[in-house]
Amino acid sequence: MRHRFTLLLVDGHAGVREALAKRLARQPDVRAVVTADGIDAAEELLPALRPDVVIIDPKTLAADMREAVRVFAEQRLPVVVLTASLQGMEAAALRRAGAASVLLKGGCDPGAAEAR
């Protein structure tokens, strides 16, 4: 039997959050997608939810991007940053803060641009 994942999706834009949650929930390896509109709401869910992965768009939250990632990484949760845009060395800074992966919502790998 395959492992099915519980995901915590943290995004400040309600429409994007709900659309992405619906899309993720249709994936065969996903057991549940729980959403939160901010860091505080997400932290309240952690003890009972115990997600396998946290997907976060730190640019939509009222928090420092690196600190938003660090909150979950310090609890040994895999953090995937999924955001619409990044500038300069932001992807590298997010990885240093604990993000396991940094992806752009358009599907590009921001690390490719930084490597040039």
CATH code 3.40.50.2300 for 5-115: yes
CA distances from 35 to 1, 62, 86, 91 (A): 26, 16, 23, 23
Confidence of residue 116 (pLDDT cuts 50, 70, 90): very low
What whole-number distance in Å separates Cα of residue 12 and Cα of residue 50?
21
Confidence of residue 61 (pLDDT cuts 50, 70, 90): confident
Task: State percent of the chain over pLDDT 70.
Answer: 91
According to the model, what pLDDT value does residue 111 have?
Answer: 52
List the domain boundaries for the chain.
5-115
Contacts of 67 (CB under 8 A, 6+ apart): 97
Beta strands in the chain (DSSP E): 5-10, 30-36, 53-56, 79-83, 101-104
**pLDDT, mean over the chain:** 88
According to the model, what pLDDT value does residue 105 have?
Answer: 85
According to the model, what pLDDT value does residue 107 have?
Answer: 60
pLDDT of residue 33 exceeding 70: yes
Closest of 17, 15, 14 to residue 33, by C-alpha: 17
pLDDT per position as a tens digit, 63-104: 788 999 999 999 999 999 999 888 889 999 999 999 999 999
pLDDT of residue 112 exceeding 60: no
